[in-house]
A and B are shown apart, each in its own frame.
Chain A
Amino acid sequence: MPDTLLSIQGLSAGTEDKPILHNIDLAISAGETHVLMGPNGAGKSTLGHVIMGDPSYQVSSGTITFDGTDITDFAADKRSLAGIFLSYQAPVEVPGVPLYSFLRTICQMRPELKTTARKFRQRVSEICEHLEMDDSFLTRELNVGFSGGEKKKIEMLQLLLLQPKLAILDETDSGLDVDALSIVSHGIEAYRQECNGALLIITHNTRILERLDVDRTHVMVRGNLVGEGDASLIDEIDSTGFGRFEQALAEKGGVSE
């Protein structure tokens, strides 16, 4: 497929002492929106982190190809610069680094985003306004002392600034109240419209998907991708849960812990 942006083939991965993901195949084309669902502990976040190159996990077999390049052995920073973005469920606090310094640094590292400080500041202000964020956030330390909702907005701010080719949103909607969820949804929508970026959304909450046209839905159970379908699968899971997928995996006898 020439327009395939992310191609995962036969991927198995885990920590040093525990295999988590088993023989995963997944393909996402440029501009597509995919949703990854599954019960707690299924390995959804692990898949997101393995795609991003988290060194806590080791790939035991399979390949990850991004934008035509095999990135299986790339470090996370190289994957980020190649155009992959992972939005954290719980963004890490970095005391001592003002948000502004961080944002400026990550943009200046990307030749396509390099610009004067003045124009950069202007762009950041525009996005802040869009996300209903106070400009004063910029002088505060990165993710330190922010509420859960504010941290998620900061993740969205980075997403809109960096304009990655693929954004993996790891339960970005968790812990958000209705208003914050709406703002974050607007942010995701803006990313789709402005950048035509591809999305892999890991979620339990279908409200965040209301504004998006979902192309494919994947279901993960115990580290296995066990189901796939169009957007209608989300409604089905919403009403019946993951029972049939868990049962199918058990019957298949392919359960690997």
Chain B
Amino acid sequence: MAEKNAASAASTLLKHINTPAAQTWNYLHINDISLEVPTPTTKGEVLARLPRLFDAVETGIGEEAASWIVSATGDSRYVEVKAGVRREEPIVVDIDAATGDIRDTGVLVREGAEATIVVAVHGKASEAGTSASLLRIVAERDALVHLVEIVALGSGQHLEGVGIEAADNATIDVRQYALGGDKVAMGICCSLTGRSARLTQETRYLVRGSEQLDVNHLVRQRGRDTRSELVTSGILADAAKKTMRETIDLIHGAKGATGNEIETVLVTGDDIVNKTLPTILCDEDDVAGNHGASIGSISADQLGYLADRGISTKEAEALFARAIFDDAAIHAPEALSRAAALKRAEEVLGGDIALDVAEGLGLSTDIEEQA
């Protein structure tokens, strides 16, 4: 696996990142995002490529961005989990923004196998630095895949693309945490191709200052009796900008399929920009798709309950922010991703609270060393 970013100082404008499956009015400026990224150079190296199998895996960030990552990375990494094997050690994709890491990873989880995959993005980028990860997963029949993404940049921009193909009875659970970065684009596409394939996806974010988060969630439900549950919740503070596209595509033939998506946004800043595009596409009669969104402040009932325990409205907002980091640290399955969350907690909440989170959860408190 080459760790070196083979990009030059010249830049390229990627224009159609995170394009949703169904587009809407252009004047809403929600159909995609553009990012200026370093222009890749090959320098005559012979690059390792993933097996052709992965070429067919659709990713949420779009073809243009995916091609750029493949071109810009020095190498690709392929991992295969053999049939029936429960792999204990997580497959870790380590992205250090400080060195502008760009990774292309393919994971094949064979029939009946189980694997945990972790993407940990951490560090502070140098000026206008770009890091990126493209992860494509093929889950064969009866496979079980746990994916945890922790995007916790101190600064810089990051492109995070994921594509998943799930065969019959494959079960995919995804936890995404967007905890920081000047400009972060995350796109995930999960194709539930096989019969009774399942996806549960939980996304949590905290966007603050002048940070920008752009997300594209796409589920293609092709197989009969497939299920998808997408739950997204986050906090927007200060002058943060967030765009969320969430599409469940119930394709012809997916009889008995159901898909649910819901987003809850807590707004604590006066200058935030929040855009959400929830979409259910349906080309089959016998299916059910639901979406919902709630945007605003903490509910009166919740505030009342918290007040009865001594927590004021302002403190409740701080609790919700801390809770995102606690949740990330709790669900990070290995040291690097956990340290990335804790390091970011230190930057956002302060050293005392980060230490408190770590100690309380019985984790190592040497955040620097781990990150």
Contacts and interface: CB of A to CB of B under 8 A. Distances in A.
Interface of A: 52-56, 75-77, 80-81, 85-86, 88, 91-98, 100-102, 104-106, 108-110, 116-118, 120-121, 139, 158, 162
Contact of B264 (A55, A56, A95, A106): A95
Contacts, number: 94
16 contacts: A52-B308, A55-B304, A76-B308, A77-B307, A77-B308, A81-B310, A94-B306, A96-B264, A96-B320, A104-B360, A105-B311, A105-B322, A108-B356, A117-B355, A117-B359, A158-B309
A109 B310 contact: yes
Contacts of B322: 101, 105
Given A97-B319, A100-B326, A80 B309 contact: yes
B308 A80 contact: yes
B217 to A, nearest CB: 18
B363 to A, nearest CB: 10
Given A77-B306, A101-B323, A109-B315, 15 more contacts: A52-B308, A80-B308, A80-B309, A95-B233, A96-B264, A96-B324, A98-B327, A102-B323, A104-B356, A106-B309, A106-B310, A108-B356, A109-B311, A117-B356, A117-B357
Interface of B: 204, 233, 264, 301-302, 304-312, 315, 319-320, 322-324, 326-327, 330, 355-362
B311 A100 contact: no
A55 B306 CA distance: 13
A76 B233 CA distance: 27
A120 B326 CA distance: 16
A120 B304 CA distance: 25
Contact of B323 (A93, A98, A106, A121): A98
B326 A98 contact: yes
A155 to B, nearest CB: 10
Given A105-B311, A110-B310, A76 B304 contact: yes
Nearest to A118: B359
A54 to B, nearest CB: 6
Nearest to A75: B307
B230 to A, nearest CB: 14
A88 B305 contact: yes
Contacts of B330: 98, 100, 139
A95 B301 CA distance: 12
Nearest to A105: B319
A162 B312 CA distance: 17
Contacts of B301: 92
A51 B356 CA distance: 33
Q: Report which residue of A55, A86, A97 has the largest number of chain B beta carbons within 10 angstroms of its beta carbon.
A: A97
B204 A96 contact: yes
